[in-house]
Amino acid sequence: MPSERFVIPIGPQHPALKEPGHFEFSVEGERVTGATVRLGYAHRGIEKACEERNWVQSLYLLERICGICSHIHTTAYCLGVERLAGVEVPPRAQAIRVLIAELERVHSHLLWLGVAAHEAGFDTLFMYSWRDRETVMDVLEGLTGNRVNYSANVLGGVKYDLDEARAETIRKGVDYLEARTYYYLELVVHDPVFVQRTRGIGTVTREQAEWLGLVGPAARASNVARDLRVESPYAAYDLFPVQMVLETAGDLEARVSVRLKELFESYRVIRTILDKLPTGEIKGRMPKKVREGETVSRVEAPRGELFYFIKSNGTDKAERVKVRTPTLCNLAPMMTLAIGHQLADMPMLLAGVDPCFSCNDRSIVVRNAQEAETRWTWEQLRRYGIEVYKCKR
Amino acid sequence: MTALEQAQGLLAAWAQETRTPEAGRLDVVIAPEKLVAATTALFDARWGYLAGITGLDAPKSGQIEVLYHFCAGAYVLTLRIALAREKPSIASICSVIPAASMFERELAEMFGVAVVGTPDPSRLFLPDDWQDGVYPLRKDFAEEASHAE
Amino acid sequence: MRLEELWEQLEARLATWGRTHSPWAVHFNSGSCNGCDIEILATITPRYDLERFGVKIQGSPRHADILVCTGPVTRQARERLLRIYEQMPSPKFVLAVGTCAISGGVFQGCYNVVGRVDAVIPVDMYVPGCPPRPEAIIDGILKLLEKAQAEGVAT
Ligand code: SF4
């Protein structure tokens, strides 16, 4: 006998995801029978804005498509525009781009691990992984001066160089993170609570993944070999090759372990780059106007293939910049897959593809005139906490 | 035979013009009514996956060009279709590739290209109070027009 | 008579004390790039640990005292922002985090952007930065509470 049908709206403001997206699940009892999505809460009209700004201004705009993978957006854009303009980018610059891209992948995957753990009701892991993520944030900040939106890329090269001392701090950070990642990998396959929420949930077969056009870790968890760093090495990936990480199970657990195993590849590449950084300039000369033409620029963002189509009309502004983010590819298949699952699995399923709906200045601390520090240490924060409490009383 | 040569062979029956704009890319111009057939041919041969749909507005030539990008490894194949700027319309390819739904919704609302037969024609990105018939990625778009009275 | 007045004063002070010592906050992203949001999330994690100040970030606007806003306000999110603000019980405070929330940032002039947060709802405290550091966000919240305490929180 058919039970009653309900439509459950989730979002746009909801505790599960920090970004706005509106989902509607129709359910029969606890089973999901239909799913639709409405985006646009974070739609700002960036593609149009790129037509009104010049090549350099667009760079900073595109960086702010997404604060989590800001560097990869500008990498895709820079590689495309440089190709159109016929600019040679020095190898050192390309290597630094890859270095930062891999650091960004580390930060993004750890962030995701925390969010996924939170969805699974495993907040301890959330706190752990975010605590460790601070290590890579420190590294990124040391390298570029900002924790998010580093603006390391410029047209023709990069803005920041690094020396041996900096390299050493990066190595230390990576060593620490590597040890932690082993621990997490151990944890996610053995912790019974976590495994119950991930094993056999949201399984995507290889055929489905190929047919539905999944990209990134979500595809690789279903044994689909799609990784542009391997298939079409851009920037300096030909000098510093990565190995593709594949899993066969295709369920949420596989998506977790693909991401964690990828981290080891990232650590390895980061170390190799630090050891064998090419010498030379970090920036080539970039003309103000870019000659007419069209180009496609594809890079592997932490969430999958990021696709840029850039058309120039020979002026200092773009004729068209088209951005296709990995989330748009992965969201539609997930809506299809949601059907038949338990409602309670929805947050996990959504988090499984790591959706990113949004996809400058330097760090600022609001400070009193008396305080000279621009950054707080752990201890200072602790003391501040105590003081605040004391004087409130 | 590289993947692109294979694609060229698959599409030979419908190709009006073939170009290689850069290394690893192939642009094939086809007529609008041939889109579904060409997509099916690619799909049946398991040639890559649909990576996105780009619209290009060219008011000077009175056309809107729609680009269907298919990727296979490092190769990018683009089906290019020119539509008249007045009342542009194209058939949906969702019957072949269901994942195209999002791209088609985007194309429809950003360029005003009617996608005939797309399963979910509702808005994806633009706000609810957006004026119908105003398309932001067209070159002659003016923001004031987008506010419904 | 005097006793009643005293009692009222005491009540008000007690309420202010309670409110400023354990405020609950709700976070709304009205079109941001995520940068600010992940930094807000970072404030509740072990290194920064906002909860040591008694501040809790939770999901429902109906239980919230502070609304933490990020991003420029997009046309689609405007209604939601207003609604969330209205759903919050009084007294309520708004913290605008990030350049975008303060001025629209790089997204000024984009067709789907209404503009800064205080064009839609009143804002009590601004935290600049793109994105601001977690320490800055914490500082912003504490300054907000200080201000609230000094003014006395009316019911
Ligand atoms: S202020 Fe910067 S980090 Fe924050 S939402 Fe705006 S662009 Fe993103």
Predicted confidence (pLDDT) per residue in A349-378, tens digit: 666 666 655 542 222 223 333 333 334 455
How far, in whole angstroms, is CA A87 from its chain's centroid?
27
- What span, in angstroms and rounded, lies between the C-alpha atoms of A218 and A209? 8
User: How far away, in angstroms, is C34 Cα from ligand 1 center?
Assistant: 7
| Cβ neighbours of B126 in C, within 8 Å | 76, 112
CATH architecture of the region C24-147: 3-Layer(aba) Sandwich (3.40)
| Cβ neighbours of B128 in C, within 8 Å | 76
Q: Is the pLDDT of residue B86 over 70?
A: yes
Q: Which residue out of B122, B129, B135 would a mutagenesis test of the C interface target, given it has the greatest number of C Cβ atoms within 10 Å? A: B129
- What span, in angstroms and rounded, lies between the C-alpha atoms of A359 and A48? 16
Neighbours of C17 (CB within 10 A): 14
Residue in C27, C68, C130 to alter for ligand 1 test, most ligand atoms within 8 A of Cβ: C130
**Region B126-143: what's the mean pLDDT?**
79
Q: Which two tokens stand for residue A174?
A: 């990576």
Q: Look at ligand 1, atom 2, and give the residue with the nearest C-alpha.
A: C130
Residue in C28, C29, C30, C32 to alter for ligand 1 test, most ligand atoms within 8 A of Cβ: C32
How far, in whole angstroms, is CA A304 from its chain's centroid?
9
- Mean pLDDT score of chain C: 86
Up-side HSE of residue A18: CA atoms within 13 Å toward CB?
Answer: 29
User: pLDDT at position A43, please?
Assistant: 73
Q: Is the pLDDT of residue C96 over 50?
A: yes
Up-side HSE of residue B121: CA atoms within 13 Å toward CB?
Answer: 10
Q: Is the pLDDT of residue A176 over 90?
A: yes
- What span, in angstroms and rounded, lies between the C-alpha atoms of A196 and A201? 9
User: pLDDT at position A266, please?
Assistant: 92
**Region A76-88: what's the mean pLDDT?**
89
Evaluate: CB of C130 within 6 angstroms of ligand 1: yes
**Is the Cβ pair B127, C111 closer than 8 Å?**
no
**Region C57-72: what's the mean pLDDT?**
87
Q: Is the pLDDT of residue A195 over 90?
A: no
| Cβ neighbours of C74 in B, within 8 Å | 127
User: pLDDT at position A313, please?
Assistant: 87
Residue B6's pLDDT band, with cuts at 50, 70 and 90, is confident
Q: Which two tokens stand for residue A194?
A: 């976590």
Residue in A64, A65, A137, A357 to alter for ligand 1 test, most ligand atoms within 8 A of Cβ: A64
User: How far away, in angstroms, is C33 Cα from ligand 1 center?
Assistant: 5
CA-nearest of B147, C22, C74 to A20 is C74
pLDDT digits (tens, 9 = 90+) for B40-50: 888 888 888 88
Query: Helix or strand or coil: residue B101?
Result: helix
Up-side HSE of residue A34: CA atoms within 13 Å toward CB?
Answer: 9
User: How far away, in angstroms, is B86 Cα from ligand 1 center?
Assistant: 39
- What span, in angstroms and rounded, lies between the C-alpha atoms of A228 and A216? 9
Residue B108's pLDDT band, with cuts at 50, 70 and 90, is confident
| Cβ neighbours of A65 in C, within 8 Å | 33
**Is the Cβ pair B102, A331 closer than 8 Å?**
yes
Interface check B129 vs C, CB under 8 A:
yes
Evaluate: CB of C128 within 6 angstroms of ligand 1: no
Closest residue in B to A320 (Cα–Cα) = B56
**Region A291-309: what's the mean pLDDT?**
88
Percentage, residues of chain B above pLDDT 70: 98
- Mean pLDDT score of chain A: 79
User: pLDDT at position A331, please?
Assistant: 72
**Is the Cβ pair B127, C112 closer than 8 Å?**
yes
User: pLDDT at position A268, please?
Assistant: 93
- Which contiguous run of DSSP H or E holds residue B107? helix B101-111
Neighbours of A244 (CB within 10 A): 14
Q: Which amino acid is at A228?
A: L
Interface check B128 vs C, CB under 8 A:
yes
Residue A273's pLDDT band, with cuts at 50, 70 and 90, is very high
**Is the Cβ pair B130, C111 closer than 8 Å?**
no
Q: Which amino acid is at C134?
A: P
What atom of ligand 1 comes closest to residue C129's alpha carbon?
1
Continuous H helices in chain A: 46-52, 55-63, 70-85, 91-119, 123-144, 164-190, 192-198, 206-212, 217-220, 228-231, 252-275, 326-338, 346-352, 378-392
Measuring CA to CA, how many Å separate C36 from each of A140, A176, A188, B54? 16, 26, 28, 30
Q: Is the pLDDT of residue C153 over 80?
A: no
Residue in C70, C74, C126 to alter for ligand 1 test, most ligand atoms within 8 A of Cβ: C70
User: pLDDT at position A269, please?
Assistant: 93
Select the residue of A43, A67, A388 nearest C36 (Cβ to Cβ): A67
Measuring CA to CA, how many Å separate A40 from each of A26, A28, A133, C32, C118? 21, 28, 29, 12, 21
Select the residue of A18, A361, A376 nearest C129 (Cβ to Cβ): A361
User: pLDDT at position A1, please?
Assistant: 38
Smallest CA–CA separation between A2 and chain B, in Å? 26
Residue C92's pLDDT band, with cuts at 50, 70 and 90, is confident
Q: Is the pLDDT of residue B33 over 90?
A: no
Residue A8's pLDDT band, with cuts at 50, 70 and 90, is low
Evaluate: CB of A64 within 6 angstroms of ligand 1: yes
Interface check C36 vs A, CB under 8 A:
yes
**Is the Cβ pair A111, C38 closer than 8 Å?**
yes
Q: Which two tokens stand for residue C39?
A: 């930094």
- What span, in angstroms and rounded, lies between the C-alpha atoms of A70 and A360? 12
User: pLDDT at position A360, please?
Assistant: 25
Residue A123's pLDDT band, with cuts at 50, 70 and 90, is confident
Q: Which two tokens stand for residue A309?
A: 């189509």
Closest residue in C to B124 (Cα–Cα) = C76
CA-nearest of C110, C90, C88, C86 to C100 is C110
pLDDT digits (tens, 9 = 90+) for A131-156: 999 999 989 988 888 888 888 888 88
Residue A98's pLDDT band, with cuts at 50, 70 and 90, is very high
pLDDT digits (tens, 9 = 90+) for A257-271: 899 999 999 999 999
- What span, in angstroms and rounded, lies between the C-alpha atoms of B57 and B59? 6
pLDDT digits (tens, 9 = 90+) for A196-224: 888 887 788 888 787 777 888 888 888 88
Evaluate: CB of A147 within 6 angstroms of ligand 1: no
Evaluate: CB of A385 within 6 angstroms of ligand 1: no
Q: Is the pLDDT of residue A340 over 80?
A: no
CA-nearest of A79, A130, A66 to A326 is A66
Of A78-82, A387-391, B22-26, C32-36, the range with the lowest mean pLDDT is A387-391
Residues B75 and B27: beta-carbon distance below 8 Å: no
Q: Is the pLDDT of residue C49 over 60?
A: yes
Up-side HSE of residue A177: CA atoms within 13 Å toward CB?
Answer: 34
The residue with tokens 């989330």 is A327
Domain boundary assignment for chain B: 3-148
Q: Which CATH number fits domain B3-148: 3.30.460.80, 1.20.1250.20, 3.30.43.10, 3.60.60.10?
A: 3.30.460.80
Q: Which CATH class is domain A47-320?
A: mainly alpha
How many beta-carbon pairs below 8 A join chains A and B? 80
Smallest CA–CA separation between B2 and chain C, in Å? 40
Neighbours of C13 (CB within 10 A): 12
- What span, in angstroms and rounded, lies between the C-alpha atoms of A344 and A335? 15
| Cβ neighbours of A294 in B, within 8 Å | 21
**Is the Cβ pair C74, B143 closer than 8 Å?**
no
User: pLDDT at position A366, please?
Assistant: 31
Residues A43 and A35: beta-carbon distance below 8 Å: no
CA-nearest of C51, C68, C47, C31 to A147 is C47
Percentage, residues of chain A above pLDDT 70: 78
Q: Is the pLDDT of residue B148 over 70?
A: no
Measuring CA to CA, how many Å separate A78 from each of A58, A81, A227, B90, C21? 10, 5, 20, 33, 48
Residue A272's pLDDT band, with cuts at 50, 70 and 90, is very high
The residue with tokens 């809506």 is A335
* Segment 100-139 of chain C within 8 Å of chain A by CB: 105-107, 109-113, 127-133, 135-136, 138-139
Q: State the pairing for strand pair C66-70/C93-97.
A: parallel
Most confident of A33-42, B117-126, C27-36, C123-132: C123-132
Judged on CB neighbours under 10 Å (0-12, 13-18, 19+), A378 is: exposed
Most confident of B116-120, B139-143, C41-45: C41-45
User: pLDDT at position A362, please?
Assistant: 25
User: pLDDT at position A361, please?
Assistant: 26
User: pLDDT at position A215, please?
Assistant: 84
Higher pLDDT, A27 or C130: C130
Query: Helix or strand or coil: residue A129?
Result: helix
User: How far away, in angstroms, is A146 Cα from ligand 1 center?
Assistant: 12
Evaluate: CB of C132 within 6 angstroms of ligand 1: no
Residue A14's pLDDT band, with cuts at 50, 70 and 90, is low
Q: Which two tokens stand for residue C36?
A: 């600010």
Interface check B51 vs A, CB under 8 A:
yes
Q: Is the pLDDT of residue C80 over 60?
A: yes
